[in-house]
Structure 1
Amino acid sequence: MTTDQNWSKDATVYQIWPASYKDSNGDGIGDIPGAISTLDYLKDLGVDIVWLSPMYKSPMEDMGYDISDYQDINPDFGTLQDMQDLIDGCHKRGMKIICDLVINHTSDQHAWFKESRSSLDNPKRDWYIWRKPRYDSEGNRQPPNNWLSYFSGSAWSYDETTDEYYLRLFSHGQPDLNWENEECRQAIYDSALKFWFDKGVDGFRIDTAGLYSKDQSFADAPIVFKDQYYQPSDKYTHTGPRIHEFHKEMYEQIFSKYDIMTVGEVGHCEREEALKYVSAARKEMEMMFLFDIVELGSDDQDRFRYLGWKLKDFKAAIQKQCDFIKGTDAWSTVFIENHDNARCISRFGNDKEYREKSSKLLATLQTTLTGTLFIYQGQEIGMTNLPRSWPIDEYKDINTMNYYKAFKEKCGNDADFKEKEKKLFDIINLVARDHARSPVQWNAEQYAGFSTSEPWMRVNDNYKEINVESQQKDSDSLWSFYKQLLQMRKEYKELFIYGSFEILDYDNEKVFTYVKELSDGKHPKAYVVLNMSDDSVEFKPLIDGDFKLISSNVKAVDYDEKVLTSWESRVYLVN
């Protein structure tokens, strides 16, 4: 990793989730050749780095996050040669490419796990985490402890071959690797990291980067949810005793040898702890994602326990993201959508009466914040959540399906089940991961131009109104607006990417106003005002100076300097 990492700091990163991005061969599943066919489109939009979500060989129990071979490609997505063509295609256009690094767990179909489970004395037995059952007072076999899986139920799976349980914090088919075993770590570094760097990959988004080190006591987790037996295991599995040692080792042995970027999906921890992962002096990772915005309104241990949010909460989450690096040598990220979260327009805008206008407002927010900017596929055209009218059968995500199944088992016989089910559906329709995973809407033809045959997941019903082709032809579309904003972000990069951030109207529940400025005091400030409500409100500048409008989501003919119309956004330079 070089000392001058500005290429990753200044960048706009575009995330491709392969299964739902673009299908080139008509089998209904997105693929790498499909992604290659859109590289000029991405370059034109203003993208600097392509982030490709897992494309590795996988039985796809968790959509590729269950890897059976780090050094091969899932046949649904293409071949190793296709992957090389994608890497080369990005480089040819002056773009970089990063991939997902999924090394907390493998698939149970990985050769390592097949060996590990074959016998108690297999040389790879200790490459995964095995424990004996415990037995209750009636003599019934139980998992080793009460840890909850991120996908509902126990975090342990029983294996009859050796009469032991293996730890899998996610699905049955995702056994956790044992990072305590040095031989296992070296095999991970060789096959999952070095192999791809040598092929030209420019870095990694590091999946579940806070989970590798488990507390070796494997004690029962404290009771957080009183209405269930299995409990969140964060106390024993997140940011464990050796986690920073492992990240430093990875940096020293592998990352430091290449000019690359690394961004960690660490999850929830206090700022001081989080900064240990990304302080430049500590040499672990370059930056990380903070989840305060995307998980706003949800319990951070369970997204479907949803309480809602107010604009003050939203401002606080943005403030936390922007203040994260204040006075440190760390770097930050900006994102509001990804493959694990619902569509921002449905979560934070008004996707009914003010769909395009509120999408433009959210785009203005994202492109004026400090840090490396990440955009998720379809965000640039304002793709929305799935329709509320769709039945549960249309949802495909293992997290949603397992949660609904557990809910039915628990409440299915309750007299008020229908009422409870409706409430859960409302929440699923707002925050489920499925909303990010419907096929990208390329045009108004059948299957939205994603494929020539029926896709693996149903296309959102609104693809005729929301698609790339129509927006590229329209100079007033969200796509065109995004392109302008990305150019503005680059033109004033010192101000928007690196500038300090200060909220001016924290208690205002309709309007969000903030200032970006440089510490030297010699440059103009940026004054950003966002009316995040359905009402018109009076516009009164909260600072003095000479205001010059450089971006607005309202046409000049409709513009009234003294009134902010519903969901109006403005960016001024102020001398």
Structure 2
Amino acid sequence: MSTWWKEAVGYQIYPRSFKDSTNDGIGDINGIREKLGYLKDLGIDFIWITPIYASPNFDNGYDISDYCAISSDFGTMENFQALVKEAKQANIKIIMDLVINHTSNQHEWFEKSRNKTVGYEDFYIWHEPVDGKEPNDWQSIFGGSVWTYDDVRQAYYFHTFAKEQPDLNWDSSAMKKKVFDMIEWWADQGIDGFRIDAISHIKKASWDTPNHDAQRPFKAFQNVAGIGDYLTELKTIFQKHDLLTVGEASGVTAEEAEIWVGQDGYFNMIFEFEHTGLWRKTSDELPFKQFKEALVRWQEACANGKGWNALYMENHDIPRSVSVYGDDSPEYRTISGKALAMAFMLLQGTPFIYQGQEIGMTNTAFHEINEINATDTLYMYNELLTSGYSETQAMEMISAVTRDNARTPMQWDGSEYAGFSEVTPWLKVNQNKGAINVKLEQENPHSLFHFYKYLIDLRKTHPVFINGEFRYIETEAEPIFYYERANEQETYAVVVNLSKEAQTFVSLDELSDNQLIVSNYLDYDFAKLRPFEARLYKLA
């Protein structure tokens, strides 16, 4: 099987917010086509496109009503086929988002299942009322019960997420055949792989299992024992077409890495949640020690050919990394953005850049609830009001954590709608578009955009960053992330200050005798690492 993805750099596109070609306020497929040259210039090898299938859009496309149709919001199947063709001409591969834990409740399969149409009765997870009540007290990831009563079938159906997203029943052989046929259909459209959404949720524990504990929230339907049987079947279909597979695998630990992404693993790589999950657990400062430990744990779990992993700091579900892990003030936004880029881009694995990350897009200030779109944030807001918080307090609490921070329109230039559209977009444009946009970044040779280009080129011209050994170097300075990449030809040291405070440590003097390849500061003070300073040394 091909392993082209080990040397590749991916780019995640959230189409609704990337580029609007029709001026209806919604990004679309032809908008992506317009920007293939931009992605090629950045050095991207493949793009992951979040769902563009037919959908009522209760959860922005992650509630699919027809797997084999394109949503009219985004264009047509002809537009998509043109995108595939033009991307291939630019040597850019395309991977789609595969959502097979659940569908929309408007999917034809669900309609047939609730009506007990022959052959579809068990496509979803149904349960009769128990003493007139729900089968158990499990809570869904979006809040509220996992069970919703359906008047037509007169039974409860299960949903890991919103009630509009009923879970498919992976114990149904008829349902699986339909899913496998659909995967093969997409492979025939010329795509190169899939990012597989919420895949660690497809197996459920017995209904009497306690669902929640401090270590494993949602443990009754997250990476449950026995899930491997389903994933092995899926893998057979993927391998048949030599498709790249990236599993979204919440609840999977580094100790399980080899099972999931090893030589005989279920997927080529996964998105794990250990390092990005930390920002929710701290009120003020990033816990540097735990952040480094999480990254190192996965590097070591996949070392020596035991596995491969997806490297990322942002996606459509989490706030902007420069606002969470860095400092989005004018003084440090670019500096901290470069520090984060160096910290993750030179690890072993396949890096994914989320749209706008390469120009340092930041969180947005949301002031009114009608500016919010994310389903889970709306639920959180109402819960806060019910708990006694004022509207102002509730808005302050949700603004920093809402997924909408990652979904504001891409900032192409400083015009009224940031070059994304000529009309009011579906979600507000960040007010800092005049200071942060692609046009300015491309014009400035010292910008974050050009730093990402440099790091991408470094990976492609130095095999040590692909297959070289990873060595973590501990220092007495907790905010310092210090590691080496080494092969028989060369050794590099990556030293990053993850904090806003200057740092010194014993080994810094020794490093100064080596060749400094690049830094995110334009001048040098070898005695200390300044706020968010990052350096790459070639060791003698």
Tell me how far apart the structure 2 counterparts of residues 133 and 421 of structure 1 sit (CA, whole Å): 40
Matches within 5 A, 1:253-268: 254-268=237-251
Q: What residue in structure 1 maps to residue 480 of structure 2?
A: 511
- The SS at the match of 1:281 is coil
CA contact (8 A) 2:373 2:427 kept: yes
- What CA distance in whole angstroms lies between the structure 2 residues aligned with 1:223 and 1:315? 27
What's the Cα RMSD here?
Answer: 2.1
Give, in whole Å, the separation in 1 of the partners of 2:178 and 2:243: 21
Q: 1:22 to 1:222 in 2, by over 3 A?
A: closer
Deviation at 1:361, TM superposition (A): 1.1
Whichever residue aligns with residue 98 of structure 1, its letter is I
- Aligned equivalents of 2:53, 2:454: Cα separation in 1: 35
**In structure 2, which of residues 107, 110, 114 is the aligned counterpart of residue 113 of structure 1?**
110
Q: How does 1:151-230 map to 2 (within 5 A)?
A: 151-191=142-182, 193-215=183-205, 217-224=206-213
Cross-structure match for 1:88: 85
Q: Report how far residue 197 of structure 1 moved.
A: 0.4
Give the partner amino acid of 1:37. Answer: E
Contact 1:65 1:102 in 2 (8 A): yes
Aligned to 2:495, what secondary structure does the other structure show? strand
Describe the SS at the equivalent of 1:529. Answer: strand
Alpha carbons 1:337, 1:379 under 8 Å: kept? yes
Q: How many residues are paired up?
A: 537
Distance in 2 between the 1:125 and 1:345 partners? 48
- For residue 550 of structure 1, report the CA deviation from its aligned partner: 1.3
**C-alpha displacement of 1:241:** 4.1
Contact 1:147 1:232 in 2 (8 A): no
Q: Name stretches of at least 5 consecutive residues in structure 1 with no aligned partner.
A: 136-140, 226-230, 300-304
Distance 1:64 1:528, change over 3 A: same
CA distance in 1, matches of 2:346, 2:28: 32
Question: Are 2:160 and 2:201, in contact at CA under 8 Å, matched by a contact in 1?
Answer: no
- The 1:562–1:110 alpha-carbon spacing in structure 2 relative to 1, beyond 3 Å, is same
Task: Decide whether the 8 Å contact of 2:477 with 2:503 is kept in 1.
Answer: no
Identify the range of structure 1 (359-368 vs 18-27) with the bigger mean alpha-carbon deviation.
Answer: 359-368
Q: Which structure 2 segments of 5+ residues have no match?
A: none
What letter corresponds to residue 259 of structure 1 in structure 2?
D
Equivalent residue number for residue 369 of structure 1: 347
Is residue 2:18 matched to residue 1:36?
no
Q: Percent identity?
A: 40
Give distance in 2, aligned partners of 1:272 and 1:314: 17
Displacement of 1:281: 2.2
d(CA) in 2 for partners of 1:150, 1:260: 29
Report the AA paired with residue 237 of structure 1: F
Moved more, 271-280 or 157-166: 271-280
Measured after TM superposition, the shift of residue 210 of structure 1 is 1.1
Q: For the residues of structure 2 that align with 1:321 and 1:403, how far apart are their CA atoms?
A: 31
Deviation at 1:260, TM superposition (A): 2.0
* TM-score, normalising length: structure 2: 0.95
- Give the C-alpha shift of residue 425 in structure 1: 4.8
Give the conservation status (yes or no) of the 8 Å contact 1:297–1:307: no
Q: Structure 1's 272 and 485: CA in aligned 2 closer, same or farther, altered over 3 A?
A: closer
Deviations 1:186-219 (A, max 9, x none): 101112x11110010000001111111223x322
TM-score by length of 1: 0.89
SS across alignment from 2:264:
helix
Deviation at 1:567, TM superposition (A): 1.8
Runs of 4+, deviation exceeding 6 Å: none
Map of 2:466 onto structure 1 = 497
Secondary structure, in 3 states, of the residue corresponding to 2:277? coil
The equivalent residue for 1:455 is 425
Structure 1 counterpart of 2:136: 145
Change (3 A) 1:451 1:406: same
**Distance in 2 (alpha carbons) for counterparts of 1:74 and 1:554:** 45
Partner of 2:520: 553
CA contact (8 A) 1:148 1:154 kept: yes
CA distance 1:551–1:223, shift in 2 (3 Å)? closer
1:566 aligns with 2:528: no
Matches within 5 A, 1:37-436: 37-119=34-116, 122-135=118-131, 141-191=132-182, 193-215=183-205, 217-224=206-213, 232-234=217-219, 236-252=220-236, 254-282=237-265, 284-298=266-280, 309-352=286-329, 353-387=331-365, 390-409=367-386, 411-412=387-388, 417-418=389-390, 422=393, 425=395, 427-436=397-406
Change (3 A) 1:545 1:498: farther
Distance 1:13 1:468 in 2: 18
- The answer for the alignment partner of 1:531 in structure 2 is 497
Aligned residue in 1 for 2:436: 466
Cα 1:535/1:309, change in 2 over 3 Å: closer
Q: Distance in 1 between matches of 2:461 and 2:184?
A: 36
Q: Deviations over 1:358-406 (max 9, x none)?
A: 111111112211100100000000000112x623332210011112212
Cα deviations across residues 312-332 of structure 1 (Å, max 9, x unaligned)? 122112212322212453211
**8 A contact 1:14–1:377 mirrored in 2:** yes
Structure 2 counterpart SS, 1:15? strand
C-alpha deviations, 1:77-119, integer Å up to 9, x for none? Answer: 0100111111111111111110101001111111111111124
Aligned-partner Cα distance in 1 for 2:306–2:500: 40
Shift of the alpha carbon at 1:223?
A: 5.0
Greater displacement, 537-546 / 121-130: 537-546
Can you list the C-alpha shifts for 1:485-521, whole angstroms capped at 9, x where unaligned?
11112122x2222223333235413432222222xxx
Write the letter of the residue equivalent to 1:430.
A
